Chain A
Amino acid sequence: MTTAASVSATGLVKTFGGLRAVDGIDLEVRQGEIFGVLGPNGAGKTTMLRMLATLLPIDAGQARVFGVDVTTEPHRVRQLVGVTGQYASVDEDLTATENLWLFGRLQGLRSADARATARGLLSQFGLEEAANRPISQFSGGMRRRLDLAASLITRPPLIFLDEPTTGLDPRTRGQMWDTIRGLVADGCTIMLTTQYLDEADQLADRVAVIDHGRKVAEGTPDELKTSVGNSTLQLELAAGVDQDLARQVVQRVAGREPVLTPESGRMNVPLETADAAADVLIGLRQAGVAISAVSVAKPTLDEVFLTLTGHDAGDAGQPARSSHDEALLEVR
C-alpha cells in the first residue's frame, strides 16, 4: 500500500473575474492529521476547499486526493471525501432521518442499510430525539452536527470542514472539537478552515495561514504562536514622542520588532511572557519615552495577521474583530 498524501496540491489558482481568489497555493496534507487552514473572511479558504472537493473547477495547478487527480477523476474523488459546508448542506424540508436516509440511498446503500446508518449516526451525534423533526426547528449546533453526520455516511477517509464552529456557542464548539478528534482517532484525515487561532491551536496538527489567496505561513500551532509571541504589549505613546526612538528601544529590550498599528502613536510588542512587559516599560522610561496608555493582552488573530502579513485581518474582507474574544489564544 502506498501512502499517498491525503491532499497534495501545487500551484492552485482560482480567478473570479479579475480577482485571484486563490493565487498559487501549494499544500500537502498527511494521512491521519488535522490540517487547519487559517485566515480571515475572503482570504480564499472556502474557495480552495471547494476546488479540492470538486465543487469548483481548478483554473490552474493540480490537486490530488489520495493520489487521485481532482480534475480528471472527480467522480472517484467524490467517493473519498466528505464535505461539510459553511452553511448547512442538508434539506430544510426533510427530517433529520429522511436527510440521512436520502444521502445514504444516493450513495448506493439499500433502504434498510440507509435507515440503520441514519439511526446509528443520529445516536452518535446525540440527535436521536430530534430524528423526526424538520430541520427548520434545529438549533445552529444541531444543524452542524447533522451536517457533519451526513458527510460520514460512507465513512470517507478525508473530510473537509468549512468553518465547522463559526457561530456556535463555546460549549457546542467544544463538543464539535471532540467529535472531530474522534473522527481522526478512527483513521480519518481532516482538513478544516477556521478564522479562529485558538481553534487551529486546539485541533490542528499543522496549520497553513492564508491571506489574499496566498499561503503566508505554515507550521505547527506552536511554531505559529512563537512567531507572534505568547502575549502582546500594547503601547500608546504620548503626543510628540519620537516614534522611531521608541521602536529602537523596544527592539533592543524585547529583541523583537514592534508592530505599528494603523492609529498613529500606537504599537504592539509581541512577548514570550507577560513578564517581559516590565522590561520594555523600564527601558522606555530610561530612554525618556513617555507613554499615555499601556495594556498587556494575549495575541489575537489580528496580531497574527499583522505579524505575518503586515496588514490587519479585516483588510481582506469583513473585520475579524467581532470574533475578537473567541480568537484569544489559549495560553497554558
Chain B
Amino acid sequence: MSAAATEVPARGSRVRTPAVDPASAVARARPHISPVEAISQTFSMAWRALKKMRRNPEQFFDVTLQPLLFTAMFAYIFGGAISGNVKSYLPLLIPGIVAQTVLTTCMATGVQLREDMEKGVFDRFKALPIARIAPLAGPMVADLVRYLIAATLTFVMGVIIGYRPGGGPLGVLGAIALAIFTGWALAWIFTWIGTIARNARSVQGISMLILFPLTFLSNAFVPIHTLPSALADFVRVNPVSHLVSAARDLANLGVISGEVGWTLLAGLVVIAIFAPLSVYSYRRHL
C-alpha cells in the first residue's frame, strides 16, 4: 500500500508533477476568479445537477403531474363560472397555469438547494477555489430543463382539452421562452431563501407564503375587473400578472406587447437584487 501511495501514474502527468513545490504553488495562486472561470464553474455545477436529476427521476413529479392535473382541474372547475364554458376559458387559463407551474418549480429550486447545502459535499465546494456563485447558479441553470418541461406540458394538456392558441406555434414558443426566463429570474428569490433559512422544511414554508399571494393575487385565473379596487392595484403591479398578460398576448394573438418588456424588466430587477443577496448570505454561512 505504501508503494502504491507514493507512485504517481504516468497517465495525466500534465497536472501531476512528482513532487509538490509550495513556493511555486504560492506564486501560481491567483487572487481573483475571472468571469469566464465563474461561468465554466457554473456549468460544471449544472452538469452535476442534471446528473442528479437523471438519477432521481421522482424530482420530475411536480413538473409533470402538476401541469397535467391543474390544467384539467382549473379548466373544468372554473371554466363555466368565469367564461361561460371551458373552451372559452382556456385562452385565459393556460398562460395563467404556465405562470403558476413555473413559479412552483422555482420554489423547488430553493428547497433542493437547501437540502443540498446540508450535505458534506458542499463543504468541499466551499473549500475549493471556485466562484461563490457557481454552486447557487449551477442548479438553477439545470432547472431550466424543469421549467421547459412544466411550460410545455401545460400547453400540451391545454391543446388536448381543446385549447387552440391563436398565436400559432411561434407565439406559444415565445410564451414558453418568456415563462422560462421569468421562472429563472424569480428562482433567485427562492435561492436566497434557501441560503438564509434554517432547513429545507422552513424554505418550503416561507416559499409557500410568497408563492400563494404571488400566483393567486394575479390575473392568472380571473379577470382583474372582477376584483375589489385595492386588490386590483396589487394585481396590476404583480410581475406574475405581467408574465400572464404577455404570455396571453403571445400565445393567443401572436403579439409581442409592452407586457413582454415589463416582464423582462421585472425579471432583471429580481435578479439584480436577489443574486447578490444570495451570494452574500451563502458566503456568510461558510
Contacts and interface: CB of A to CB of B under 8 A. Distances in A.
Residue from B16, B21, B37, B48 whose CB has the most chain A CB atoms within 10 Å: B16
Contacts of A188: 20
A169 to B, nearest CB: 14
A119 B120 contact: no
A67 B16 CA distance: 24
Given A68-B29, A175-B1, 11 more contacts: A54-B127, A76-B30, A79-B129, A91-B121, A102-B44, A113-B15, A119-B12, A120-B12, A125-B5, A174-B1, A182-B5
Given A120-B9, A124-B8, A178-B1, A155 B15 contact: yes
B22 interface: yes
Contacts of A67: 26
Contacts of B51: 93-94, 98
B58 interface: no
Contact of B25 (A66, A90, A134): A66
Given A93-B51, A182-B6, A1 B23 contact: yes
A186 B18 CA distance: 7
26 contacts: A4-B26, A6-B22, A55-B123, A57-B286, A66-B25, A66-B26, A76-B26, A79-B29, A87-B120, A88-B120, A89-B124, A90-B121, A108-B37, A113-B15, A120-B8, A120-B11, A124-B9, A125-B5, A126-B1, A155-B17, A157-B26, A158-B22, A175-B1, A181-B2, A183-B5, A187-B22
The bracket for how many chain A residues form the interface is 35 or more
Interface of B: 1-2, 4-9, 11-12, 14-23, 25-26, 28-33, 37, 40-41, 44-45, 47-48, 51-52, 55-56, 119-130, 134, 286
Nearest to A86: B120
B120 A90 contact: yes
B11 A157 contact: no
Contact of B52 (A73, A93, A113, A126): A93
The 5 closest A-B pairs by CB, nearest first: A116-B12, A182-B5, A157-B22, A187-B20, A78-B129
Contacts of A189: 22
A300 B78 CA distance: 75
Contacts of B134: 106
A163 to B, nearest CB: 13
Interface of A: 1-4, 6, 31, 53-57, 66-68, 73, 75-81, 83, 85, 87-94, 98, 102-103, 105-109, 113, 116-117, 119-120, 123-126, 134, 150, 153-158, 174-175, 178-179, 181-183, 185-189
Given A87-B120, A93-B52, A93-B56, A55 B126 contact: yes
Contacts of B123: 55, 83, 85, 87, 89
Given A150-B124, A186-B20, A113 B26 contact: no
Contact of B26 (A80, A119, A179): A80
Nearest to B138: A106
A178 B130 contact: no
Given A116-B11, A157-B22, A107 B129 contact: yes
